[in-house]
Every structure is written in structure tokens, then in C-alpha cells.
A and B are shown apart, each in its own frame.
Chain A
Amino acid sequence: MADNTNSANQTQKKQFYKKKHREQMKHQVITFAMMIAFTMLAFGLVMAEVDAMFTVPIILVLAAVQVLFQLYYFMHMAEEGHEWPAAMIYSGVFAAVLTILALTIIVWW
């Protein structure tokens, strides 16, 4: 009897998770479509030879957004249990930004 309710519970739980996963998967497919769209936009801007002053910032922002999509949707960084991973990734980004700024700006001075 107890076993019965237990297994019934289990199937219910499984159903619930399955649904949750399907929901997630839908988001991920949408994310993917947007990433492809962003990529096409970036390549399109460059191929159309739009002014560099305009293109470069835009494609950098598009890249940053794509990366956030990867991190948050594909790698689930927003889910519970990801507080430390997120903290470490952002610390890495902090060190990375300083490194890149230094090497691009003050190396040739």
C-alpha cells in the first residue's frame, strides 16, 4: 500500500520533471534561434560594409549577449546551486576585462 502511493508519487514527480525539462528545452531552442539570428546580423553588418565606427560596437554587444545566452540558457547558470559558478565566472570576467584593456590600450604607448 505504502509502496503503491510511493510509486504513484514517483511517476507524478517524473511527469512533473519531464514537463519542466520540455519547457526548458523550448526556451533553449528559442535561444538557439536568436543566437543564429544575431550571428547572421553580425556577419551581415560586416559584409554590407557598414561604417566601422557603427559596426564594431554593435557586433561586440551581439557577441556579449550571445555569450550570456550560452551561460544562462545552455549552461543553466541562473538555476539554484549555481551561485558560486556565477561568482567565479564574473570574477574571471573582471580579471579578463582588465587584461584585455591593458593589452589593447597601454601596450603601444
Chain B
Amino acid sequence: MSTTAENKAGFGSVLWDYLTTVDHKKIAILYLIGGLFFFILGGLQAMLIRIQLIAPDNEFISAQFYNEVLTMHGTTMIFLAAMPLIFALMNAVLPLQIGARDVAFPFINSLGFWLFFFGGIFLNVSWFAGGAPDVGWTAYAPLSLFSESHGVDYYAIGLQIAGFGTLMGGINFIVTVVNMRAPGMTYMRMPLFTWTSFIASVLILFAFPALTVGLFLLTFDRLFGGNFFDPEMGGNVIIWEHLFWIFGHPEVYILILPAFGVFSEIIPTFSKKRLFGYSSMVFATILIAFLGFMVWAHHMFTVGLGPIANSIFAVATMAIAVPTGIKIFNWLFTMWGGNIRLTSPMVIALGFVPTFTIGGMTGVMLASAAADFQYHDTYFVVAHFHYVIVGGTVLGIFAGIIYWWPKMFGTMLNEKLNHWFFWLFFIGFHLTFFFQHFLGLMGMPRRYWKFLPDQGLDLFNLISTIGAFGMAIGTIIFLVNVVMTQMKGEKVSGDPWDARTLEWAIPSPPPFYNFKQEPLVRGLDALWVEKMQGNGKIQPAEPLGDIHMPNRTFVPFVISLGLFIAGFGVMYQGAMWILAGIGFATTFGAMLYRSLKDDIGYHVHKEELEEEGDGSNG
């Protein structure tokens, strides 16, 4: 099982290894590849949108295709790029940070990935099957009921499948944190990335069921003659909006909290100081999660909920600025007086703080219900959410990938190219979206295919498109960097950044069992404690013994494939019902097989472990 043996293995056996893996570190790589693939796809769609809007009255793509591209850009970026990339970081890092040998449910972890993967593929099959969904990523009824192609059905069923996977992933991480922490790793010693991932997983648990139900209702209305959103039959279109945003608003915190966690790891490491206000950071995270559940209707101020409901949701929304502000100040105070090293993750963090603050401020502006009537559905909103999602989540994801790359792959991305990537992406980003604030204030509505000449919109749209190319070139440089680094394959030590937390105490990439002996955690920033007070090595909490590991399995792939097949049957019906039969039989058959067959794992024996050195890096 040593890594050299794997390197020599043929393509087929590597593929089989990844198809059947239950190792959280390999699942992290799968999520990373899947997420980056869809990130590129969503990015290409974004470029199409910006090229269409480069000049007034442009005919670069047709109106229908524009609608499809715009819908798929949003859907892909949120569900198929940002979510899996965050799961990639969580899988790669979270178990290591708490000193666990594995996640709580290795099988379900793998199932979660394959459900996401097949859900994403299912959604994208729509391009080749009569047209992608064309009603915006929010799929508001009744527009989503009137859309004639099967695009919206692909949306509903594809997201349903991917959503199951996300829910399972969320439960897995909650239980991992609750049950699998190493001795001494109390809750208030957990690194902040673990904390924010934990809270984000809790949000997943309570937010995704609302999406599940919403998507079921949409599916029933479109495919089975339901009347939920049909006013003629007594239905109500607002129900969809509520369910969607009861899910959708916590979802944006699911996206941003782990990014906060990433920066809360990077800033202390490169400031050589412990995180300022650790417990207030934890408290702020929980408070954001709590408030995040009672603000969803700020997406619906113009629906006509009335002044009372609007005011309640406006106040709750503005309240979120308080815990978020606490975090911003804590990061600044961590850097204050620190010994700052301007590595690329740190530079990204420095770019993130002001960018996210701008996004937060426009958020408070939008939270004011009266003013929102002016901003609603204009480019001001587009600018706002790109400032928080790109300026927060995407920067966080890239910072995290660069920071933990050595831990995941044992190699180091080229720092020079990292800086090039960041500056191109960052400047491009501000060019693209800063001017969209003004476009919005001038009244340019979002989601429009064209704008007319000589209304003062031409220049800013042009600048915006130029900026988008900057982001694209930056991303290409990042990808080139990834390929070059992996081709060279220069190995680095287990702790190349001189970092503070537990994951840096073991070799890079870690052995498949993570920790040879369970680590003993003696304080916050466990590794730093040992560096300052001990010999720089984590003390073991147990003598060397056999390690219990889960068996690899192909069943998650089969379960997910079954649902993928069944989706087509449910959608096309008629003779295609047979596909639904085959698909569901496959899924339930595989589930039954899983439940009936004993799977107690295997043991790595003490003798084998003794041959492999002491398990610390060095």
C-alpha cells in the first residue's frame, strides 16, 4: 500500500482505486477534480455572458441560449463548483485537524461524492437533450412551470440527486467532529477551519431538506400534474420562493463559513501569532449560523410581504453584520504586530478582507427593505453577491487549495505563479464587478440578454468584460501551475509553511491511516504548542497498536448510477419508465446488498506499522 507502489500502477488500477475508495484524502482529490472541472465549465459560461454584454445590442449568442447559459452559470457555480470545492477542503483537512484516522462514515462519504458527481452530470446532459434550464438558477415559479424544454426537469432532478449527496456529506462531518476527536482535542481547541466546517455542516443538515421538498414540489408540478404553483388550481407561486430561500440563504453561509475558516488558519500561520479572539470567532460563527436561518425573506422584499414582515427580516439581516464585523476585526488584530510573511495564501487573505467588507456593506444596503425596491433585480445585486461569493468563497477556496496543496499532494505550487494568478484574478475581479454596482444604480436589470446603446451603460459593461478576461487568464495560470507542479513532482516536507495545527504534524501526503498513533492534543494550535514547549513533535496518546480501517467498496458508485438512470425514466415517462425501473432497482438493490453484507473492515497490523518509521514528519 505504499505510495511508490501506487505510482507504478497502471491507469486502470488507479481508476479502480479512486472509483472504490473510501479514504477521505482520496475523496478530497475527487471532489477537487470534480469541483475544478465544473468551475471551469461555469467560468466558460460566465465568459459567454460577458462577451455577449461587451457592447450594446450585441448578437454574439441568441436570447434563448443566453438564458440557458446564465441559468447554468449560477447553478453550476453554486452547486457543482463551490460546494464540492469546499467539500474537497473539508475532506482533505478536517479529519487531520482533529487527529482522526478517518471520517465517521467512510462509505457515506464516498456515496456523497458520487451522488454529487452523477447529479452534476445529469444536469449537464440537458445541453445535449433539447436545451439546458433557462429560468435562472432560482427557478422561480410560475416561469419554471412554463419553460417548455426538459431543461427545468434536468435542473430539478439533477439537483435532487446532488442535494442528497451534500446532505450525507454534511451529516458525516458533524458526526466526525462530535465523535472522532483525538484525546485532548476539546471543542474549544479545535482549529477554526474545523469549527466553521462543522457549523456549515449543521447548516447543510437543516437547509437542504427545504430544497429537497421544493424540488419535489417542482417535479410533481411539472411531471405529475401537481398544482402547488398553479394559481388557477388554487396553488401559490410564493411557496417556491419561500422554500427556495429557506434553503438558499443558509446555503450562502454554508459557502462562506468554511472560507472564513480557511483565512482564520492562514492569517495566524503567516502572522506567527495565535488567532486573535478565538472564542469570539467561534461565537460569531454560531451566531451567523443562527441568524442565517431567519433572514431568507430579504430576497423577497418586493414580493409584497407587507411592511411588518419586511421590517423583521430587514432588521435580522442587518444584525448579521455584527458577528461578521467581529470576524473582520479579529483578522485585522491577528495581523496587528505580527511577523507577517507575504506568501501567496497570505496575500490572498489580505485581498479578501477589504473585498469581503465591501460585499458586506452592500449587503447591509440591500437589507434595507425600502432601498431594496430600487436595487432589486439590478446589477447592484449581481455585484453584491459576486463580491461575497467570489471575493469571499472563491478566494477562500483558492487560498485553501494553495495552502493545503502540500498536505494533499506532497508538492508545492510555484509561488511566483501563485502571485501572478492572484493579482490577475483579483484585479480582473474588481474591474468586472466594481463597475456593476454603478450599472445597477443606473437601472440596468440583471439577466437581460441585451442593453441599448447610448444610455451610459456602454463603458462600464466594456470594462466589466475586460475584467472578466483578467479573471480567466488568472485561472488559466493557476491550472498551468497545477499541471507543472505535478509534472515536476518535487516533494516537500510535512510542514513547509511552519504552521500551527495538527495536520502539519504528519508527513505530506499523509499515510492512508493518517496517524500511526492517536495524537495527544495539549492546547489550541496543537503543533505550535509542541514547537514552543516540547520537541516540535506531537506526543502519542496510545502505544503503537493495530489500526482498524474500512474496506474499499464500489457500492456507492452503483447506488448513484442507479439514481442517475432512474432520473431519465422519471422525466421522459412513457416507454422510458423502464429506465426508472432499472435505475431504482439498481439503487435499492445496491443499498440492500450494502445492508446485508457484513463490512467490518480490516486491520493494519502493528508489525507493518513499525517498519514505516515513527510517523512524524522530519
Please report A residues at the B interface, Cβ cutoff 8 Å.
84, 88, 91-92, 94-95, 98-99, 102-103, 106-109
Residue contact A106 to B306, C-beta cutoff 8 Å: yes
For B294, the chain A residues whose CB sits under 8 A away are 98
Closest to A99 in B: B246
Chain B nearest CB from A83 CB (Å) reads: 10
Q: For chain B, what secondary structure do more than half of its interface residues adopt (helix, strand, loop), or is it mixed? A: helix
- List 25 A-B pairs, Cβ < 8 Å: A88-B174, A88-B202, A92-B205, A92-B206, A94-B293, A95-B246, A95-B293, A98-B246, A98-B293, A98-B294, A99-B210, A99-B246, A102-B242, A102-B246, A102-B297, A103-B239, A106-B297, A106-B305, A106-B306, A106-B309, A107-B236, A107-B238, A107-B239, A108-B236, A109-B306
Contacts of A92 in B (CB 8 A): 205-206
Give the residues in chain B near A107, CB-CB below 8 Å.
236, 238-239, 242
B304 at the interface (CB under 8 A from A): yes
Which residues of chain B are within 8 angstroms of A95 by Cβ–Cβ distance? Answer: 206-207, 246, 293
Which residues from chain B contact A84 at a C-beta distance below 8 Å? 178
- On whether the beta carbons of A109 and B206 are closer than 8 Å, the reply is no
Tally chain B residues at the interface, Cβ within 8 Å: 19
- Residues of A near B236 (CB, < 8 A) are 107-108
Q: Which of B307-345 contact A (CB under 8 A)?
A: 309
Q: Taking the nearest CB of chain A, how far is it from the CB of B235, in angstroms?
A: 11
Which residues in B have their C-beta under 8 angstroms from that of A108? 236
> Contacts A92-B206, A102-B297 given: A109-B246 contact, CB under 8 Å?
no
Cα separation A92 to B202 with both chains bound (whole Å): 10
Q: Most chain-B Cβ atoms within 10 A of its Cβ — which of A94, A103, A106, A107?
A: A106
User: CA A92 – CA B203 in complex, angstroms?
Assistant: 10
For B223-258 the 0/1 string (1 means CB < 8 A from A) is 000000000000010110010001000000000000
- In whole angstroms, how far apart are the Cα atoms of A102 and B296 in the complex? 10
Q: What are the 3 closest A-B residue pairs judged by CB atoms, nearest first?
A: A95-B206, A107-B238, A106-B309
B residues near A103, Cβ cutoff 8 Å: 239, 242
Please name the residue on chain A nearest to B312 by beta carbon: A106
How far is B178's CA from A103's CA once the two chains are assembled, in angstroms? 33
A91 to chain B, nearest CB (A): 6
B242 touches A91 (CB 8 A): no
CB neighbours (8 Å) of B305 from chain A are 106, 109
Expressed in whole angstroms, the Cα–Cα distance for A108 and B231 within the complex equals: 12
* Given contact pairs A84-B178, A91-B206, A92-B206, a sample of 16 additional A-B residue pairs in the complex whose CB atoms are under 8 Å apart: A88-B202, A88-B205, A92-B205, A95-B207, A95-B246, A95-B293, A98-B246, A98-B293, A99-B242, A102-B242, A106-B309, A107-B239, A108-B236, A109-B304, A109-B305, A109-B306
